[in-house]
Structure 1
Amino acid sequence: MGALHLAHAEQAPPADGNRTKGKGGGGGETFADFARQVYNDQRATPLAREMLLAFGFATMVAHSEEACDVHAVWKTVRHAMGATRTGREWRLNQAIAEDAPGYSSGKDRSRRACVAPRLRPHPDGPDDFRNQLGICGTLADWEHYAVEKQAGTGWYKYRWYCKRHLDHLVRVREQLREPNSRAPEPIPNRGGLLPVYFESDWVTAYRTHLGLPDWQPPVYGISADDWPIPGVEKVPPRARLRLAAVDGTLLVETPGGPR
């Protein structure tokens, strides 16, 4: 199962005379294969998985054998996912915004132990983490940290310091200034799943649902399949399906030709 093409996803619906009728590419077995892929995709959050399944259902089952336009597909997806608890926004809007590719640094405030060197052994004994790591270990205030950007990935590593070691913090921040300036843009580690499974103008969709007209995709691309992960083999390219309108009929184009 490859990426389905949502033609003109964010554009105005075609006139009635240009509506297309589904032909091929639908059916429960195909959707079952698609759903199996989505459920096995460990990158998907629960909300992203729900959104992908809703798009798959709309394009492969609900509108696979009937006349419809693209906006009918989006309407089906919106209603399938429903509204937020307040009822003021479609959950689909939130899901698309959260799928915008980006990097989450994962700053965990609960693990902000001061990493300044320990000068004397802690009285809790040799098995205490402070003695094993040779660090102060005092809980640091959440704003007292230095960011070290990793040379290969651009990912952040946080170094925390307590109030007694703020002089260390100032020194470390200065030491990291130059190497951080040479670090690459962080490799995205969240979002980017819609382009994996469906072809469309997702850059425009992300900008619209983020409310950021100037949002730019990462230099690594918008599809999570294209992002390099150190130590992990790259995901093989997927066979891509494209829904194309030909003489008013919706055909499914595969690498072997239309069917």
Structure 2
Amino acid sequence: MGALHLAHTTQPPAADQNRTKGKGGGGAQTFADFARQVYGDQRATPLARELLLAFGFATMVAHSEHQQDAPAVWTTARRAMGTTGTGREWRLDQAIAEDAPRYATGKDRAERACSAPRLRPHPDGPDDFRNRLGICGATADWEHHAVEKQAGTGWYKYHWFCKRHLDHLARVREQLAEPNSRAPEPIPNRGGLLPVYFESDWLSAYRHRVGERWQPPIYGLSADDWPVPGAEPVAPRPRLRLAAVDGTLLTETSGASW
């Protein structure tokens, strides 16, 4: 999978309307090749795929015959995605905010089974999950959980307890306090795809749309740079260069006016 770079205005024009070269003179690829890469990326949500394809179209097709003008590229991508249902915001801005690198805990309301030890067999029989797992199994309230941070990844594991077993919850929280304090910052598991495919000032782009309180992960902005337990690191790949837009353009693009 090659990565794209939204070209600076100083970049030379592409050889033809449907081809572009990767950073450092990498092999040429067509927009169809790029689309196959995007659709084959299992990390991409439907909204992320639409965002990547919009920038790919703007860079590789709509503005590939001449030196790329940053406002024109961003305007083309923005209009390709259109506005939100209210018509007041650009969907491109929404998608960039959604691509901001982060760790999503995956706390699932459907998995709130109390994990306190079962003292007596449940009458539903030996195949019942409460008997197989040896747990209470009653549905816990949303706030009655303890977080266990994994030593290698910092990812969260939730332990749930029902109202009858709040004493167990208190003990588990106390037991986890010290090891949790030594756990690393969670490895991101959401977003970070724009830096995989395009080179630009994504730090500013994310912060402008998410807010100043958002902080980049220590593992980097690109999802390719994040360690994945049990997987080999991703080899460096060429990206298309996407010129960063200045603060004025960022402000202008936040309103959905044509």
Give the conservation status (yes or no) of the 8 Å contact 1:6–1:200: yes
Within a 5 Å distance, the mapping from 1:203-214 to structure 2 comes to 203-210=203-210, 212-214=211-213
Alignment correspondent of 1:229: 228
Amino acid at match of 1:169: L
Give the conservation status (yes or no) of the 8 Å contact 1:4–1:240: yes
Please state how far the C-alpha of 1:238 moved relative to its aligned partner. Answer: 1.1
| Secondary structure of the corresponding residue to residue 4 of structure 1 | coil
| Secondary structure of the corresponding residue to residue 5 of structure 1 | coil
Where do 5+ consecutive residues of structure 1 fail to align? 9-17, 245-259
Within a 5 Å distance, the mapping from 1:159-174 to structure 2 comes to 159-174=159-174
Give the Cα separation in 2 of the matches to 1:52 and 1:59: 10
- Give a deviation string over 1:117-137, Cα, whole Å, max 9, x none: 001111111111000000000
- Give a deviation string over 1:78-98, Cα, whole Å, max 9, x none: 100000011010000110000
| Secondary structure of the corresponding residue to residue 158 of structure 2 | strand
Amino acid at match of 1:236: A
TM-score, structure 1 length as denominator?
0.85
Structure with more of its chain in strand, by fraction: 1
Give the conservation status (yes or no) of the 8 Å contact 2:196–2:239: no
Please state how far the C-alpha of 1:26 moved relative to its aligned partner. Answer: 4.2
Please state how far the C-alpha of 1:236 moved relative to its aligned partner. Answer: 2.2
Identical aligned residues as a percent: 77
Alignment correspondent of 1:249: none
Amino acid at match of 2:187: I
Give the Cα separation in 1 of the matches to 2:157 and 2:16: 46
Give the Cα separation in 2 of the matches to 1:82 and 1:225: 28
* Pair 1:241–1:25, CA change in 2 (3 A): farther
Which piece of structure 1 moves more, 99-108 or 214-223? 214-223
Where do 5+ consecutive residues of structure 2 fail to align? 20-28, 244-258
Alignment correspondent of 2:190: 190
TM-score, structure 2 length as denominator?
0.85
Give the Cα separation in 1 of the matches to 2:7 and 2:64: 14
Please state how far the C-alpha of 1:242 moved relative to its aligned partner. Answer: 4.4
RMSD of the alignment, in Å?
2.0
* Pair 1:62–1:137, CA change in 2 (3 A): same
